[in-house]
Structure 1
């Protein structure tokens, strides 16, 4: 499937990476990491890819925050974030607040963290900043071994 995306990604470049990272950061499953590394390998500027992927994934994560801020746990459970997972994440978040947004990059729990932060009405700016830092570190950790 990735082979059929290559021409489209080359045409869309950084914007395509931004969109893929946004989708991956939201509740929809998509692995933006492979697309990120593929575009870097195809010659796009690593710093530009890092910026596009971080921005898209952060905004996708903030869409989960927004969903959490609008809904109640029953409604959110219908979107795929189960009550049990949400309860575990809320327990983890207790006392950490918006800074826990840093961990929104984690597989399986990242979306639940963002949704729970929205439910808890954590500080939106601090949540966005900590989420952005976490997502930046994740993409940077993928990029550095490739560059070396």
Structure 2
């Protein structure tokens, strides 16, 4: 497994980051933050790394939006196996805070269902894209800054 991770980092760095970021935002139990940190510590360009991770993760969220918008209950409940309590929690957030809650689409557990609910409730795609991309971009930017400043302090 470790050799596989090293190969991903060394040979396919930003492409791997894009794919992992995309998949991590599509209801699969993955995280992309560790890969971003590893690339930054290896010396990857911070700007490119943040942009690639943000685009991949936002496109994954858009996939959830499209499934919520066009996939129907069967796809959401049977194929994706989103639990009722996750969906209910996301709906509660969405009803309480409106589309502004999409700024928090990066949160674990609630973020992916939030994008599904947004699609089900037919949030305008431009608004969805701006809010989700902003939230995810800020998260990755903060993580990159934290990583780079932490590395400076340690080394």
TM-score normalised by structure 2 residue count: 0.88
Point out the more displaced range, 129-138 or 70-79: 70-79
The residue number in structure 2 matching 1:68 is 68
How big is the shift at 1:91? 1.8
The residue number in structure 2 matching 1:133 is 134
Tell me the distance in 1 between the aligned counterparts of 2:63 and 2:17. 17
Q: Which runs of 5+ in 2 are unaligned?
A: 150-155
Tell me the distance in 2 between the aligned counterparts of 1:17 and 1:71. 27
The residue number in structure 1 matching 2:57 is 57
How big is the shift at 1:111? 0.6
Q: In 1, are the aligned partners of 2:18 and 2:55 still within 8 Å (CA)?
A: yes
How big is the shift at 1:2? 4.7
Distance 1:70 1:20, change over 3 A: same
Distance 1:45 1:71, change over 3 A: same
Q: Which runs of 5+ in 1 are unaligned?
A: none
Distance 1:55 1:92, change over 3 A: same
Q: Equivalent residues in 2 for 1:15-34 (5 A)?
A: 15-34=15-34
Tell me the distance in 1 between the aligned counterparts of 2:75 and 2:23. 20
Distance 1:37 1:68, change over 3 A: same
Asked if 1:106 corresponds to 2:107, the answer is: yes
Q: In 1, are the aligned partners of 2:89 and 2:110 still within 8 Å (CA)?
A: no
**What secondary structure sits across from 1:136 in the alignment?**
helix
TM-score normalised by structure 1 residue count: 0.92
Who wins on radius of gyration, i.e. which is larger? 2
- How big is the alpha-carbon RMSD for the aligned residues of Structure 1 and Structure 2? 1.5
